[in-house]
Amino acid sequence: MPTDPIDRPIPGEPIAEGRIAEIHAWESGRVLKLARDWVPEDWVDYEFKIGRIVHAAGLEVPEPFELVRVAGRTGIVYSRVDGPTMLDRLAVSPLKARFYGRMLGELHAEMHARTGAAELPDGAERLRRKIASVDGAPAVYRETALETAAGLPHGDALLHGDFHPGNVVLAEHGPVAIDWPDAARGHPLADVARTVILISLGGLPANPILRLSVGLLRTAFRSGYYAAYFRRSPHRRSELAPWMFPVLFARLSEGIEAERESTRRWLGRLRPDLEPRAG
């Protein structure tokens, strides 16, 4: 429930917006992340709780100060982080894709060097639940994803859960990871697999002018990301491969129709032995 129960008016036009929330300027140099009217209040409560836990880990992340009520909707007041997102910068400077990929990899490795608080959700259990909830996919894919995930190592690193160029603000003092409601505690390579999938299926500019070169852009960005992350991680890139199939299959649980066919083809490339054989 909001810590400030007063129902205030919306403070002007949003300065940014996404699918589930608008961002408004707030008093004392802060910002308000105001949930859409269809977003359940307990989602916002949960994000506030997770945001406090992540901020306490000592990373450079926006600090959540309070829950407020605005025009009958619930919002979170955060410290303000000014700057474009990495995705914005990629859209105007595609030739710097490898540079920004390295920046993302460095920030991810720094994050994974932190231990996730015990209060955070268990990443392995979250992955299992997402796999089990996928509808409309071959049963052999689900069974294989569950079996593979069960055999993967556990960990206690701080995981973001939705780490991609659109969730990194390039502030004057350095990059800042934002949007932490999917944070968990678990093995870092689960988070890396998720990021690679987000980069590959979306999360990079698809400006019509750049459309023909988006494949090259993704390749350059991933190359920089891999190089920087695995240079700083105790893990080897070869250890990532077993994570890809279960994490990719779990992505189907999010019901993103535009990605469904490309995800299905990718799953087939990862495990061609599961594809049905022509009679």
pLDDT at 278: 46
In the predicted structure, residue 3 carries a pLDDT above the cut 70: no
Is 86-274 in the same CATH topology as 4-79? no
pLDDT at 5: 62
In the predicted structure, residue 74 carries a pLDDT above the cut 60: yes
pLDDT at 216: 84
Nearest to 263 by CA among 182, 216, 199, 201: 201
Structural domain boundaries of the chain?
Answer: 4-79, 86-274
In the predicted structure, residue 1 carries a pLDDT above the cut 70: no
DSSP string, the chain: --SEEEEEPP-SS-SEE-SSEEEEE-GGGEEEEEE-TTS-HHHHHHHHHHHHHHHHTT-S-PPEEEEEEETTEEEEEEE---S-BHHHHHHH-GGGHHHHHHHHHHHHHHHHTSBPPTTSPBHHHHHHHHHHT--SS-HHHHHHHHHHHHTSPP--EEE-SS-SGGGEEEETTEEEE---TT-EEE-HHHHHHHHHHHHHHSSS---GGGGGGHHHHHHHHHHHHHHHHHHHSSS-GGGGHHHHHHHHHHHGGG--HHHHHHHHHHHHHH-GGGSPPP-
In the predicted structure, residue 52 carries a pLDDT above the cut 90: yes
CATH architecture classification, 86-274? Alpha-Beta Complex (3.90)
Per-residue pLDDT of 248-265, as tens digits, reads 999 999 999 889 999 999
Of the pLDDT bands very low, low, confident and very high (cuts 50, 70, 90), residue 46 is very high
pLDDT at 279: 44
1-5, 19-23, 54-58, 190-194: range with lowest mean pLDDT:
1-5
Per-residue pLDDT of 31-45, as tens digits, reads 999 999 999 999 999
Per-residue pLDDT of 180-239, as tens digits, reads 999 999 999 999 999 999 999 875 655 655 565 788 889 999 999 999 999 999 999 999
pLDDT at 17: 85
Per-residue pLDDT of 116-133, as tens digits, reads 999 999 999 999 999 999
- What percentage of the chain carries pLDDT values higher than 90? 81
CATH architecture classification, 4-79? 2-Layer Sandwich (3.30)
Of the pLDDT bands very low, low, confident and very high (cuts 50, 70, 90), residue 9 is confident
Per-residue pLDDT of 81-98, as tens digits, reads 999 999 999 989 989 999
Average pLDDT of the residues of the chain: 92
